[in-house]
Copies of this chain bind each other. A is one copy, B any other.
Amino acid sequence: MMNKDQYLENLVLKLTTSTPLPPEERTKLLRLPLTLKYFESGHDIVREGEQTKQCCLVCEGLVCRYKIIGEGGRQILSLHLPGDIPDVHSLLIDRMDHSLGTLTPAVVGFIAHDAVRALTRSSYRISEAFWRETLIEASIYREWMAGIGRRSAPSRIAHLLCEFITKMTAIGLSNGVTCVLPLTQPEIADALGLSTVHMNKKLAEIRKAGLVRIRANRLTILDWKGLCDVADFDPNYLHLRPSISPK
């Protein structure tokens, strides 16, 4: 387990993917007061309908955003790795239209809205950096939406695997070939708009085709090119720093 400085460092790293921030403003960010809290796996951090006075920074573990659709079950809307602030929007939007929950045991840092607002209002650079993050998130939504709407099940599954390892690599939690994949199959299915059973069968095919290995919560890419082909994966929409990418 790391300390607060390192958690905030992750945040700064993320915020500076496109444009560097002057040292002075980096320092301001690193000084944000953070209240850490530990969550068991499968617990809610914030629930739909709530109004909050703080943002949460994912420090350790995997967090997801989801909605429950009457009857139809759960739709996972996004995945959040350390360094993400999945609810910056609560700064400007009154109430949550969805929930945030943990998919693994997780450490979450809470930062008061006032503290964040003071920063964004004090510097257009910081403000734009946060804004930019929310725009990238929207870009990922678009990709997911297009995938759920128009891609076949195998393609969606492969796409999720591509995206996951790409993001893990970008934050230094993977070497681009292998990484932990803490998602269960029902969770993957919920993210892709598929049933668990169908997901399982199509994932099995992807494995049998020799594209990936998945064992004991670990994903290993065996054929990156092949996987990208199935996925029709083009990492552009992630708007990451150039240069870092799997395989």
Docked-complex contact B89 and A146, CB < 8 angstroms? no
Interface residues of A toward B: which range? Answer: 35 or more
Choose among B75, B92, B239 the residue that contacts A128 (Cβ–Cβ < 8 A): B92
Docked-complex contact B135 and A93, CB < 8 angstroms? yes
Within 8 A of B (CB), among A92-130: 92-95, 97-98, 120-121, 124, 127-128
Does A7 have its Cβ within 8 Å of any Cβ on chain B? no
Docked-complex contact A67 and B97, CB < 8 angstroms? no
Query: Inside 8 A of A120's CB, which chain B residues have their CB?
Result: 124
Does A22 have its Cβ within 8 Å of any Cβ on chain B? no
Cα A178 to Cα B178 with chains together (Å): 55
Cα A31 to Cα B219 with chains together (Å): 54
- Name 17 A/B residue pairs within 8 A (Cβ), A-sorted: A67-B142, A69-B146, A70-B232, A72-B152, A73-B150, A77-B145, A77-B146, A89-B139, A92-B128, A92-B135, A93-B135, A93-B139, A127-B131, A131-B131, A134-B135, A141-B142, A148-B193
